[in-house]
Amino acid sequence: MYFALCNGCEFALYRTDSTNVPVLMFSLNDIEHYWDKLKLYISPNSFQSGKNFTYDTTNATAKPTGFDYSNRPLLEEIVAKKQAAKRHFGVHGYFTKQVWNVVAEYIKNYSKPNDLVLDPFGGSGVTAVEALMNDRKAIHIDLNPMSVFMVQSLIAPVKTGELIEVFDRVKTAYEKGEPKTKDEIKKALSKYPYPKGLTLPKGSDVAKVEDLFTDKQLAQLGFLKYLIKKEKNENIKNSLMLSFSSTVSKINRTYHNSGSRDENAGNAAAFAYYRYRLAKEEIDLSVMRTFETKFKKILNAKKEIEPKINQNTIGNAQIIKDTATNLKWIPKESVDYIYTVSLRPSTSRLI
């Protein structure tokens, strides 16, 4: 009644008379947590009658050892794989972004499937995403609304076909009405709202937020945002707004070209120099080309996480805008593992 597939990393068990959805699937690293359930399906005692089986124990025989939270082994050095996961690489810039595979290995070592993982300084959401990708539940807390927006938008379940359809509609409308001439730009600036009047921190090269952009950039970004905001499906709209936000990090006067690669391979000064530093040479990037590149990154990320983070599992995530100094709302003794990096001047602390 059953057959199994294994690629050396994951194990999947299927019924021969059922759909393509596996009845049991897990990473081989987590086999000890699924051992009893696996035995219920395919051990000889589960599907044979009137026969007895005996096996000689060898070193290759799996021997689940149980799970002792207080005595987990320390991990060996983990080689960083920063660009190997589409769900993180290229999706959106952020400060102090953790290496996803290092976070994942810590989560798998110090917790079990269905455990609750907390990151009270959630940042770019690597901890929450990796917890969900490894069959854990997650609480992501951060005071920065940008952090909350990024993570909520990334994990929001969408139908990829519908997402592509909406993107194409937005792209067509943008290319048809893109403000290019001086008159079109002036008209767009008066029609489509953009941030203005916000005073930037000391040390910035300009005083106000709108000074970080040329009139052309403000007009074209404002028009693109207007088109996105017209969409009704909230998850799709937020997914496109995540692409838009990542686009803004390129379309501004602080964008510094890398020099060694193509003109779209640079970064905003806020991420490169940790301040609003205008580039010596302004790079006139195409808004739609940049937006399309960012959209493809988001689309690939959505496709990669969909098997684990979808409509059926999204309830396992809590993405909260709040302070880490008040966690009274979390039930006592409900958190199984905390992974976070707390940054202070000249220090970083891994819990």
Q: Among residues 68, 136, 74, 135, which one has the least CA distance to residue 119?
A: 136
Burial of 320: CB neighbours in 10 Å, binned 0-12, 13-18, 19+ = middle
Q: Are residues 177 and 257 in the same domain?
A: yes
Residue 142 CB-half CA count within 13 A: 24
pLDDT at position 224 over 70: yes
**Gap between the Cα atoms of 147 and 67, Å rounded:** 33
pLDDT at 269: 80
**Gap between the Cα atoms of 45 and 23, Å rounded:** 19
At 114-156, the pLDDT tens digits run: 999 999 999 999 999 999 999 999 999 999 999 999 999 999 9
For 11, the token pair is: 């194990």
**Gap between the Cα atoms of 11 and 4, Å rounded:** 7
Q: Are residues 237 and 294 in the same domain?
A: yes
Q: Are residues 258 and 188 in the same domain?
A: yes
Q: Mean pLDDT throughout 235-261?
A: 90
Range of the domain at 323: 100-156+306-350
At 169-193, the pLDDT tens digits run: 999 999 999 999 999 999 999 999 9
Per the model's pLDDT, the better-predicted residue between 332 and 45 turns out to be 332
The pTM (predicted TM-score) of the whole model is 0.80
**Gap between the Cα atoms of 216 and 189, Å rounded:** 9
Would residue 80 count as lying in a domain?
no
Where do the H-state alpha helices sit in the chain?
31-42, 44-47, 100-110, 126-133, 145-155, 160-177, 182-191, 215-229, 234-248, 269-272, 287-305
pLDDT at position 166 over 70: yes
Provide the residue count of the chain. Answer: 351
Q: Mean pLDDT throughout 339-350?
A: 59
Q: Are residues 172 and 131 in the same domain?
A: no
**Gap between the Cα atoms of 89 and 62, Å rounded:** 35
pLDDT at position 335 over 60: yes
Q: Among residues 245, 326, 260, which one has the least CA distance to residue 291?
A: 245
pLDDT at position 55 over 70: no
Burial of 152: CB neighbours in 10 Å, binned 0-12, 13-18, 19+ = middle
Task: Determine how β-strand 137-142 pairs with β-strand 317-321.
Answer: parallel
Task: Describe the crossing of helices 100-110 and 126-133 by its angle, rounded to 10 degrees.
Answer: 50
Q: Are residues 129 and 27 in the same domain?
A: no
pLDDT at 248: 95
At 187-216, the pLDDT tens digits run: 999 999 999 999 999 999 999 999 999 999
pLDDT at 35: 85
Q: Among residues 164, 290, 277, 177, which one has the least CA distance to residue 223?
A: 177
Q: Are residues 188 and 286 in the same domain?
A: yes
What secondary structure letter does DSSP report for 208? B
- pLDDT category at 274 given cuts 50, 70, 90 is confident
Q: Are residues 231 and 131 in the same domain?
A: no
Q: Are residues 132 and 245 in the same domain?
A: no
Would residue 268 count as lying in a domain?
yes
Q: Mean pLDDT throughout 13-18?
A: 84
